[in-house]
Structure 1
Amino acid sequence: MIDLDDGDAAGQQVAPVWAVFADLMSGLLGAFVLILLGVLVAQMDLVASLQAEVEKRQIEEKRRMALEQALAVPLASGRVTLNDGRIGISGSVLFPVNSDQLRPEGRQLLRSLVHPLRVYLGERNEMLMVSGFTDDKRIQEGNQRFADNLELSAQRALTVTRALIEEGMASSQVFAAAFGAEQPVASNASESGRALNRRVEMAPVPRSAGPKSAGAPKRP
């Protein structure tokens, strides 16, 4: 007789080893597939994010070029600047020191901006935010009109806003904001720097970012 008990026992011992190995390989393959899927999803998200950023930059560049074209004449005069979609006018062009009374040449400059801005805003259904800024020097003692720089910047922004409306801008297209000495564009350590900080800026904004959500202090 041939005894097969030893062979059967060996087969029984080998079979579980292969089964465990097969299960291990299946698990590794599944993990690899999951990792690969995760990498692919991450890459797709990255590509989509990059495409969205490129499209956003293209839209911003088109808006900048359109605004620059609309304001070609005032920009050529050198009294108006355009930086990142913000139209800047020196405070000395518009107002005497510590005053919110428009100079005649300041009103004339604002008058030249109304038509191109009105057309630009109307084509895009946007609004114009008029922002007032000052330097960091305190209001001179004895000035009964303004308690501080914030109030001065607010009144200047309102003066410009009203002037634009008087010159033909629709009141629904423009609103005022005040920043006082916040957000300087130059150092307040020198007179030349302070002169740059005394300014009015105008920026087209979506209607959803109008007076209720512009995030800036405003005056009635």
Structure 2
Amino acid sequence: MKEKTYTGQPVITLNNGITIPALGFGVWQVEDLKECENAVTKAIEVGYRMIDTASIYLNETAVGNAVNNSGVGRDSLFITSKLWVQDHGYEKAKSAFQRTLDRLQMDYLDMYLIHWPFGDFLGGWKALEELYHEGRIKAIGVCNFTVEKMEELKANSTIIPVINQIELHPLFQQKELQVYNQKNNIITQPWSPLGNGNAGLLDHEKLRACLNFIQ
């Protein structure tokens, strides 16, 4: 599989050497499949090259339709999905991954993440490691892992996650976790960086001062 290129996109290099676009388009809470497909189609049209979905979002099929009909080559797109808690455990994770591929209509994933650190997430991680070595996933990581859960994973695995995707915005900075990730060469990838549209954040005087300064 050749190295991916993202023309005109700032990129981040992961600890396994691959690069990803610095900015991605997520589809959390977009459950209407047509709406999701249209949104992803438009996102790709305006230049997004990283699309983030998850099995629990119930819209992987719409994402796959949009990607496959976009006219943009698969080698120029970075697709992420996530393993849900009920699919933790080695065998269940392997089956869940295949279902995700089927819904996305793809034969590999760029990145697959463990969505939450509950249940037998260690068994799930073992499955992800195996799928990574088989070349069916280009990068594996986690979401919403605390320092304690990261340490538990590190003590029971052979691959360090490339990313820990966490809630992160000016009103919720999780500085200890950010420092931990940085020390362990793990990228901190924020979700809801604008506080999920929280008016208290968007109207915050310090944020408005920053915006006024930029303008």
- TM-score under structure 2 length normalisation: 0.27
- TM-score under structure 1 length normalisation: 0.27
Higher helix share: 1
Structure with larger Rg: 1
